Every structure is written in C-alpha cells, then in structure tokens.
Amino acid sequence: MQAQQWLGIGPPGAAAAALVDWAHARGLSLIELEALHLAACETEHCTADELTRATALAAEVDPVIGGVILAHLAVIAAGGAPSDASEPEIRMLSDLGLWLPLPYTGVLSAREREVSLFAALGYSSRTIASRLYLSVRTVETHLAHAYAKLGVDDRDGLRRWYSQRREAERQQHRG
C-alpha cells in the first residue's frame, strides 16, 4: 500500500481501511496502526474513535514508532494537512522510514522525486546520498533538474511547491 501511495496508483485509502480490519482481527498492532495512519493520510481525516484506537495500538508497539505515528494522527485529527512538509512529525516519520509521499508529479523522474522528498524534508545532500547510496554530486544533479523542472530556486522553494500542490489536491478531492 505504501508503494501504491508513493506511486499514486489506485485508491490506497480503501485498501488501508480493509487492512485495518484484517490486522485488527489477527491482533497485528503495528500493521493496524500503520494502516490507520495511511487511511487517515489518504482521507485527510482522523476521527476521535480512530485516534483513541491508535492511542491503544501505539502503547502496544515500539514506543518511538507508536509515538511518532500517534503524533501525526493527532495533527490530522486537529485538521492539519497530512503531508505538510513543514510539520516536524513528517520529518520524524521519514527518519523511521514511514514518510508520506509528496504529491505525484509526472514532471520528475522517480529518482528526482525521491531525492526531492528528502530535500523538501530538510535533509542535507550528504545525508540523502548516504541514505540512497548515491554520490553527493548525483544528488545535487537530481536536485538541479528538479528545481529547473518545477521552477523553484532552492529547497525552501521545493518545500513550498509541494505543500501548495498537496493543498490544491486536498481542495480538489473535497470539492
């Protein structure tokens, strides 16, 4: 489902809801928590009941992972944008390998999009290179291409571009 979400293929929200039920029936707390999180990110909504369930699940899993997911669900429940790259919870999710994808754009290659994700989250080129097993120069090249294709000048511009695009997508889905 995360790959489906990352690539923008199909409606991962419906699949996440089904996975929540499946994991709950089998007592798989972490999978259920992650599926609740994915569903909330896709629907951009988290009910009080879902937040209560997530709180119980977070207590049953690794405290760091549970705490980060729960904090992000609380942001969503309060009306925050699930993928606002300026939110600290997004950075923590990324650090744990549970990041939310930035909106799909056919303008960027898959690797440019991946590098852009980390850059928009505030990672240095050296960190991105290490994480993706690339050279720093290759990361900088991908970023230069992404900047040119998206019409931005730097990482802050990249972050703003993605946040604006995600907000536009949210409005489109609501309308």
- Residue 79, pLDDT above cutoff 60: yes
More confident residue, 51 or 167: 51
With respect to residue 94, please indicate whether it lies within any of the assigned structural domains: no
- Residue 175, pLDDT above cutoff 70: no
In the numeric block, the tokens 């980390």 are attached to 118
Confidence at residue 97, expressed as pLDDT on a 0 to 100 scale: 66
With respect to residue 87, please indicate whether it lies within any of the assigned structural domains: no
With respect to residue 105, please indicate whether it lies within any of the assigned structural domains: no
More confident residue, 146 or 103: 146
Give the Cα separation of 90 and 87 in Å (integer).
6
pTM: 0.62
In the numeric block, the tokens 């390998």 are attached to 97
Confidence at residue 110, expressed as pLDDT on a 0 to 100 scale: 82
Query: Which H or E run contains 79?
Result: none
- Give the domain extent around 74: 2-81
Does 6 share its domain with 51? yes
122 φ, ψ to 5°? 95, 10
Mean pLDDT score of the chain: 82
> pLDDT > 70: what percent of the chain?
78
Q: What is the mean pLDDT of residues 117-132?
A: 87
68: Cβ contacts below 8 Å, ≥ 6 apart: 89, 92, 93, 96, 98
With respect to residue 161, please indicate whether it lies within any of the assigned structural domains: yes
Does 64 share its domain with 132? no
**Residue 4 pLDDT class (50, 70, 90 cuts):** low
- Residue 135, pLDDT above cutoff 90: yes
Do the beta carbons of residue 144 and residue 109 sit within 8 Å? no
**CA of 136: how far to CAs of 14, 15, 39, in Å?**
39, 37, 35
Last residue of a domain, one of 63, 81, 99: 81
**Residue 7 pLDDT class (50, 70, 90 cuts):** very low
More confident residue, 95 or 139: 139
Confidence at residue 151, expressed as pLDDT on a 0 to 100 scale: 93
**Residue 12 pLDDT class (50, 70, 90 cuts):** low
With respect to residue 129, please indicate whether it lies within any of the assigned structural domains: yes
Last residue of a domain, one of 81, 100, 127: 81
- Residue 173, pLDDT above cutoff 60: no
What's the domain count of the chain?
2
Q: Alpha helices of 85-135 — where are they, by DSSP H?
A: 88-95, 110-120, 125-132
Confidence at residue 172, expressed as pLDDT on a 0 to 100 scale: 66
